[in-house]
Chain A
Amino acid sequence: MLVNGLAIGMLYVLIVLGMDMILRGTRILNFAHGQVYMLGAYAFYFTYLVFHLHFVLALILSGLAMLALGALSYLGVFGFVQRRFTPGTPFSYRLLMSAMASVGLMMILQQGTLLGFGTKERGIPSIFPQLLTFGSVRLPLERLFIVLISLLLCLFLYLLFFKTKLGKAMRAVSFDAEVCSLLGINTFWVYLLSFGIGCALAGIAGAIVAPVFSVSPDMGHGIITAALLVMMVGGIGSYKGALVGGLVIGLLSSFGFQFLGQLSQVLLFVFVIVFLIFRPGGILGEAHD
């Protein structure tokens, strides 16, 4: 159960990291992220089970596919939305426009998948069906695999942010985009890559979870609510907060489901709301407009 909670928590961490990255880079709250996660799972299903590729290759391919999808959606929709904003645009208007565009995209992706692949749940045989036994403790290897891959991705993101020039540019753009473009940073590429990498994270999250749970068009709905909850707890736009919040919510929901059953989601929400009374900005974030 602990491992289960950890695995779910790391899954949330991956998705929230992607959303935070998009939010901080481009100031867009992407509600379509759950659908990207679902499409990532579908991509893995097709590459791994239909085309019989090696699972590492399939994982990378589904991540790349979602990167392309993210970049495309930025080029097709969000780029235009963003370009219309001037520094004087009220924040509420910016938020509404970008949130609505992503909601529209969410509906299109969701219903498109439903029409294209049907409502049928598709199972993928587990890649690591073994159980690890340490004395009396038995651990399912596939859950550990999820944790491992997620940790690797977090490490990769850390290196990207703090050891490469692109990461530096991303951090700078999220701080002040106008000054950055004056200083010769190509903000368009930074936006595009932020969006793409954020979506790729969700895609890989979907791909690694596909063999554990089954793949269905509905899987995006549940995860987006949980991911947003994690975002609130951790602090909006905070990467460390996403990590802490994801683990907290993952463990709480895993234990809560064991002891309370169906209602654990509701109680979790009440818990988060009560938590927000004391720390309105989440664990590691600040309350801001």
Chain B
Amino acid sequence: MRLTISWRTSGKLAGLLLVLAVLVLLPLVIRSPYLIHLLIMTFIGVVLGMTFSMLFSTGLITLGAAAFYAIGAYTSALLTLNAGLSFWLALPLATLMAGVIALLLGSIIVRNPGVAFVVITFIFNAVVVEAAGGLRQLGGWGGILGIPRPDPIPLPFYGPVEFITKTPYYYLMLALLLLIMLVFYALYNSRIGRAWRAIKLSPALAETLGINLYRYRLLAFVIASSAAGVAGSFYAHYFQSIIPEAFGGWTSIYIQLYSVLGGLDFYLLGPAIGAAIMTFLPEFLRVAKEIEPLITGALLVMIILFFPGGILGTLRQFPRLGPASLSARLGEIKNWLLSGRNLR
């Protein structure tokens, strides 16, 4: 059997490698820690946005993505501070914790998708914040301070990588992001991903084809929540302090905005573009913190009203720009001109 790669696929592959190369080389060019910080926040946002998109790919809508982000952050922070574990052990444990809690909660609430699911995830988020603030063991409203940095990694030929400047954090988060993207990509292109898409298109039809709605939706909920846990764990050790307010309902709304702004039908690329815009645009426009939610809210309504497909969805509606389509378009215009209709 001959392996053939079509031009379109190879073009996509080349584009992907180019973006990857740019992302890897970027910290060598950019010297400003501020920009690096924004990039790191974008990566976190992309991971969180992808979790929302994954749930939406099965027809579930969550307003509680930040709850699992919080669970990851708090688990990781408490494990390193109280149990003295290293970050490298706390990260998988935090992921596991977020997954287990998602499994417990999900096994109850995934049964009734739709309005009930949105409502419960929204309440769950508020309750997690309330618990983190109300319990003294979890740091209370003041949060947890002095979370240790990740331990240095001894690299061969390079020496140990210390997590002091922002650059190592950048590469760590980039690696985590790529790992999660890879896992998600593999899932979407497997039997599981196809089942999810079938469920989203028509739950009733999918069920008649033998897809267990409950199990597939629960799987999506657990995987997405675990990914949010990874982001939370990284966040805690990157900022070295966490407060309950950082994980409130607003954060969940922002996460939702990332994937809707980018485009809901693009499970990986949509959140990436949405998160990048939502992180960089307010910073570059120097919007005051008080007005920012006002603009975000207006933006949300505008997208819903005028561009329900998001940026990528809207772009896809435009005809493809290429020599073939261009000549076809020119021919159309020529015919139209020669026919003499409408030219009076």
Residues of A within 8 A of B (CB): 23, 29, 31, 77, 80-81, 84, 90-92, 95-97, 99-101, 103-108, 110-112, 114-115, 221, 225, 228-229, 231-232, 236-237, 262-263, 265-266, 269, 273, 276-277, 280-281, 287-289
- A287-B300 contact, Cβ under 8 Å, with A96-B61, A100-B256: no
Q: Which 8 A-B pairs have the closest CB atoms?
A: A107-B297, A104-B300, A92-B59, A104-B301, A108-B297, A262-B134, A111-B293, A269-B127
User: Could you say which residues of chain A place their CB within 8 Å of the CB of B127?
Assistant: 225, 265-266, 269
Nearest CB in chain B: distance from A214 CB, A: 20
Tell me the nearest residue of chain B to A261, going by C-beta.
B134
Q: Is the CB of B308 within 8 A of A84?
A: yes
Tell me the nearest residue of chain B to A235, going by C-beta.
B116
User: Cα distance A69–B63 when bound, in Å?
Assistant: 25
Tell me the nearest residue of chain A to B117, going by C-beta.
A95
Nearest CB in chain A: distance from B324 CB, A: 33
User: Cα distance A228–B127 when bound, in Å?
Assistant: 12
Q: Is the CB of A92 within 8 A of B300?
A: no
Q: Is the CB of A101 within 8 A of B123?
A: no
Q: Is the CB of A236 within 8 A of B119?
A: yes
Is B291 an interface residue when CB atoms closer than 8 A count as contact? yes
- A277-B108 contact, Cβ under 8 Å, with A100-B300, A104-B298: yes
Is B168 an interface residue when CB atoms closer than 8 A count as contact? no
Q: Is the CB of B105 within 8 A of A273?
A: yes
Q: 18 A-B residue contacts at CB 8 Å?
A: A31-B122, A91-B59, A92-B59, A97-B304, A100-B300, A103-B300, A104-B296, A107-B293, A111-B291, A225-B122, A225-B127, A228-B123, A237-B115, A263-B134, A265-B127, A269-B124, A280-B116, A289-B113
Nearest CB in chain A: distance from B58 CB, A: 8
Is B201 an interface residue when CB atoms closer than 8 A count as contact? yes
User: Could you say which residues of chain A place their CB within 8 Å of the CB of B294?
Assistant: 107-108, 111-112, 115
Q: Is the CB of A107 within 8 A of B296?
A: yes
Q: Which of B112, B135, B290, B308 contacts A97 (CB 8 A)?
A: B308
Q: Is the CB of B108 within 8 A of A288?
A: no
Q: Is the CB of B119 within 8 A of A104?
A: no
Is B305 an interface residue when CB atoms closer than 8 A count as contact? yes
Q: Is the CB of B256 within 8 A of A103?
A: yes
Chain B contacts with A in 37-71, Cβ cutoff 8 A: 56, 59-61, 63
Q: Which of B202, B297, B301 contacts A90 (CB 8 A)?
A: B202
User: Could you say which residues of chain A place their CB within 8 Å of the CB of B301?
Assistant: 77, 101, 104-105, 108
Q: Is the interface of A mostly helix, strand, loop or mixed?
A: helix
| Tally of chain B residues near chain A (CB < 8 A) | 50
User: Could you say which residues of chain A place their CB within 8 Å of the CB of B116?
Assistant: 232, 236, 280, 287
Q: Which of A90, A107, A111, A287 contacts B201 (CB 8 A)?
A: A90
Nearest CB in chain A: distance from B238 CB, A: 27
Tell me the nearest residue of chain A to B132, going by C-beta.
A266
Q: Which of B56, B253, B303, B308 contacts A107 (CB 8 A)?
A: B253
- A263-B305 contact, Cβ under 8 Å, with A29-B118, A92-B200, A280-B112: no
User: Could you say which residues of chain B place their CB within 8 Å of the CB of A225?
Assistant: 122-123, 126-127
Chain B contacts with A in 117-164, Cβ cutoff 8 A: 118-120, 122-124, 126-127, 130-131, 134-135
User: Could you say which residues of chain A place their CB within 8 Å of the CB of B253?
Assistant: 103, 107
Is B114 an interface residue when CB atoms closer than 8 A count as contact? yes
Is B268 an interface residue when CB atoms closer than 8 A count as contact? no
User: Could you say which residues of chain A place their CB within 8 Å of the CB of B109?
Assistant: 273, 276
Q: Is the CB of A265 within 8 A of B114?
A: no
Q: Which of A29, A31, A112, A281 contacts B112 (CB 8 A)?
A: A281
Contacts A95-B61, A266-B127, A289-B112 supplied; 19 other A-B pairs, CB < 8 Å: A77-B301, A77-B305, A90-B202, A96-B264, A97-B304, A99-B61, A100-B304, A103-B300, A104-B298, A105-B301, A111-B297, A228-B119, A236-B116, A266-B131, A273-B108, A273-B120, A287-B111, A288-B114, A289-B203
Nearest CB in chain B: distance from A265 CB, A: 5
